[in-house]
Every structure is written in C-alpha cells, then in structure tokens.
Amino acid sequence: MKYTILPMQPTPNGRMHIGHGGGTYLRADVLARSLRAEGHDVRVACGSDAYENWILAASAQDGRTPADTCAVYHSGILSDLTALDINFDVWIDPLNEPHRQAYLDIHTELFREVSASGGAALETELVPYAEADDSPLLGTFIAGDCPNCGAPAGGSSCTGCSEHFQPSQLLNPHARLSDTAIVWREEKNWFLRPRSAANLLAELESTGLAAEHVAVAARYLERSGGRIRLSGPGTWGVTSPLLPDGWVLSNSYFLYCLYASRQVADEAAPEPFAAGSGVVTVGIFGTDNSAPGLIVPGLYAQATEGRLRAFNHTVVNGMLDLDGQKCSTSKRYGIWLKDVLGSGMVSSDELRFALSGVDLDRGRANLNLPDLVATINGFRGAVRDRVVPALTQAPALAGVDQDVLATQRRSLQPASLNLPSARAVLDDYLFGPAPDPARWLASLAALAAPLTPRLSAAITAAAAGTAGNDVLNDVLGVGDLTADRLESVVRRGGSSS
C-alpha cells in the first residue's frame, strides 16, 4: 500500500516548542515509522507556511523583513524537528524556487477551476480596517472572543473549542497589535461553499473520524453554511493574476497538501489526490485547524466535481498545556525543542517517550513539569537497569512477540491513531517481566521502533556487536534530570528565536 502523510505546515514565525513536536509532527513520524515497518511505501511531505500573515507580526517583533523571518524559521523549524528525529521526504519552502512559482500557480489553477464550476462565488461581507492607517485587520491583526464558546480568540479560529469564524463573527472585536479603532466596510470576496453538507459529513464519517471531530465540522456547517474564505485584502500572501492588486488568495492547508503530495509522488504517477490514484492520503493537524483540515478538502472535492478527493484519513490532535497554560509561540510560553534537546539534558528518545504518553488524541491535555521529569527518569532507569543487563545476557535477538506487536500496531493505524495506547504496550514490555532476554529484547526493539527509534536501533546494534563500547550513546540525556534543571529551559514569556 502507498501512503502519503501530510502534517499541517508550520508557520515560520518562531521555533518549535513541545506542543508542536509532541502533537502533529510526532504523530506523523510515528505513523510513518509503523507503516513502513509493516512493509508499506510511505512518503511524508511538509514545509513552512510562508504565506501566512502571522509572519508579519513576528517580523516586526524580531526586527527582520518578512522574507528574512521566513528564511530564519524555515531552517530553524526543520532543525528542531530533525533533533526530535522527525523526518520528512521533502521539506518545502514555498517562498523560494524551485517551489515558488509552481506553488503560486496551483492556487491560481484551482481558483480558476472552482470559480468556473460554481463551487466558489463572490459574496459580500464586512471587513475590518484600521482607522489609523486603513490597513485590513485579518489574521494576525484581529482578535476578540470566540462566537461559539466566548473564549479569547485571534485570527480565524479558537484554540479552545476549534471553532472557525470570519472577522465579522468575532464578539468584542479589536485590533490585536495596536489600539486603533476598527472601521467596517462592505466588500466582495470569494468563498467556497459545499454543494452538499450532508455528503461532506458522510464522507468524514466513512473515514473512521472520531465522532467529536465530525461534530466540530457539523457545527461549523450548520452555523456558517460551510462558507470558507478564498480571497481577502492583504499585503502578504498568495498573489494571483485573477485578483486585483492588494488582494491575495487564502493559503489553504489542502492546497499545500495538493502541492506537497506531488513532490513525493512517483514520476508519471497519477495525482495523489485524484480518485483512483492508489495512494492513501493522511492529513494530520491540531484541533485549531479543524475547518481547514476537515471541511476544506471536501469542499474542493465537490467544487472540482470529483476530480480531486479529500483525505482518506485525518488525524486530529488536541492542544498541549504546560503547567496549565497552552504552549504558545506568540506568547513565548513553553519548552522550545532547540533549548531542551540542544542542552543535552534530555535526549530525543526521552522526550518522544514522554510526549507520546500525553493524551492529545482525545483532545487538549496538560503536562506538568514534575510529571515530565518523572516520566523521563523512569525511562532512563528502565534502560539502564533492565535493557543494558539484558544485552549482556542475550548474545542475539530472537522471537518477536507477534501478538503484542499486532496489539500495538492496531493503535498505529491512520483511522485509529492513539499514541498513549501504543506507548502503553511499550511500557508493559519495558517495565514488565523479562524471563527470556533474547525474546524480550527482540520484542522491545520492535515495539520501540516507532516511538523511541534510537533505543530500538541501539538494541539491534548491541545485539549484533556493532554498537561500540557505549550502547546508550544518544539514547539517554546527560546528567541527572531534576525539575529545577529542566525549569532552566522553560520559557514563560520571552523571545522565541
């Protein structure tokens, strides 16, 4: 089976924190490793969301041009995810060649197609402008309260309840980055709407998507009629010859996936999102991107009259809180991957092990610093006190427990991905009885491979006699880990560079 896994592209407005690493991108990597271990052909494509206007706020704060901001964080994000052993077959910079023009072209081509088919239409809406300088207040420039749950929200989505909205729907709207008053104007912009909301929901249900996520999509379709923005005023974004100056096309996650999937497709192979392509496409994203991830693909499938199809599967993860507060790039709150992994105090495997146990597959979850330390130290103790002695007793690996491996793999399928369940199977082996060292180590290496790949590789290398003198090299962090020591890399407000 051929799979193309497409995690949501990160905005290059800062480096990666543990909420990013432990959410969408860890899930993409674990799923890819597990499917490859089953013998499938798996490609993972991603890159930076360079046309997102949240970059403008970051560039102003960092004192760089928007293009320089994108360049700095495009490479920085890849460095962060690579340090967590999260791998991609392609990492796309849509702001520069060889991707720039082709990326712009795919947006124009799809816009032309869906507007011609009647799937998209011009609609009148109220657009907020700054009284101070007459600039449009969309995306990073607008904030208020969520029209669904009432929580503070910015841009076009709520991280609390996953609601997607247009600026005019915000309660108590205000300029996010200044104290300017808002002037509302009637303007016409392009929007997609579903031809059949019922069919769109039925398609989502048929993929095995959890009921709570289908409910989010259903709520949006009912509240808004499924209206999704295709164009708007702006100075930074996807330009098109089909729009007037000063207007840009929305930088859709689905169109990004459409472009990215082509970059990893076999030469002369059908479009991965074409019906009958033979490629299983998997979208992975956070709950704050539920509308772009769940609704937009179905809208394009309907608007292109079936030429394109939506994802075969979607994986939605919740937001990660650290000590009760959401990890946030804009608020400079959380643990940044480059800080914790670059310090050497925590290894990639240790952090992956800890983060895979946080139940983001069922929604928002909290991670307390003392619990993070305890989990990492528990992993260290098991490796030092159980794995290393077992390696001295077993001259070779033998007899993977196939029943246990099958149990874990049931939690590592696109329609049922659940990292805590998969780690629970690993935990049972790592901390459980080991009467036969050769069989225990062989099974442990197989179970660890998708979650803690360095441990798996170290066990295999040590048993083969190719590990050298230190079988723990790169598996464990350096020095004793305490809450006070880990606190030194926690940011509770400050720079994200």
Q: What is the pLDDT of residues 198-228, one digit of tens each?
A: 999 999 999 999 999 999 999 999 999 999 9
Is pLDDT at 495 greater than 50 in this prediction? no
Q: Does an H or E element contain 186, and which?
A: strand 182-192
Predicted confidence at residue 471, as pLDDT, reads: 65
User: Do the domain assignments include residue 453?
Assistant: yes
Q: Cα(first)–Cα(last) distance of the chain, in Å? A: 40
**By the 8 A CB rule, do 298 and 42 touch?**
no
For the segment 374-379, the average pLDDT, to the nearest whole number, is: 98
The residue segments making up the domain with residue 481 are 344-360+368-492
Enumerate residues 6+ apart whose C-beta is below 8 A from 370: 483
Least reliable range by pLDDT among 20-29, 130-139, 281-290, 364-373: 130-139
Least reliable range by pLDDT among 265-274, 278-287, 304-313, 488-497: 488-497
| Whole-angstrom distance, CA of residue 342 vs CA of residue 80 | 9
Q: Which amino acid is at 356?
A: S
Q: Is 182 helix (H, G, I), strand (E, B) or coil?
A: strand
Is pLDDT at 111 greater than 70 in this prediction? yes
pLDDT band for position 74 (50/70/90)? very high
In the sheet that 142-145 helps form, which strands lie side by side, from edge to edge? 152-154, 142-145, 171-175
**Alpha carbon 173 to its chain's center:** 28
- How many domains are there within the chain? 1
User: Do the domain assignments include residue 234?
Assistant: no
For the segment 82-86, the average pLDDT, to the nearest whole number, is: 98
pLDDT band for position 494 (50/70/90)? low
Give pLDDT tens digits for 377-410. 999 999 999 998 888 887 678 889 999 999 999 9
pLDDT band for position 497 (50/70/90)? very low
Is pLDDT at 105 greater than 80 in this prediction? yes
User: Do the domain assignments include residue 202?
Assistant: no
Give pLDDT tens digits for 464-484. 776 544 667 789 999 899 999
**By the 8 A CB rule, do 142 and 128 touch?**
yes
Is pLDDT at 134 greater than 80 in this prediction? yes
User: Do the domain assignments include residue 454?
Assistant: yes
User: Do the domain assignments include residue 249?
Assistant: no
Predicted confidence at residue 237, as pLDDT, reads: 93
User: Do the domain assignments include residue 283?
Assistant: no
For the segment 265-289, the average pLDDT, to the nearest whole number, is: 94
Q: Is 266 helix (H, G, I), strand (E, B) or coil?
A: coil
User: Do the domain assignments include residue 243?
Assistant: no
State the chain's mean pLDDT as an integer. Answer: 93
Q: Which amino acid is at 300?
A: Y
For the segment 298-302, the average pLDDT, to the nearest whole number, is: 97
User: Do the domain assignments include residue 58?
Assistant: no
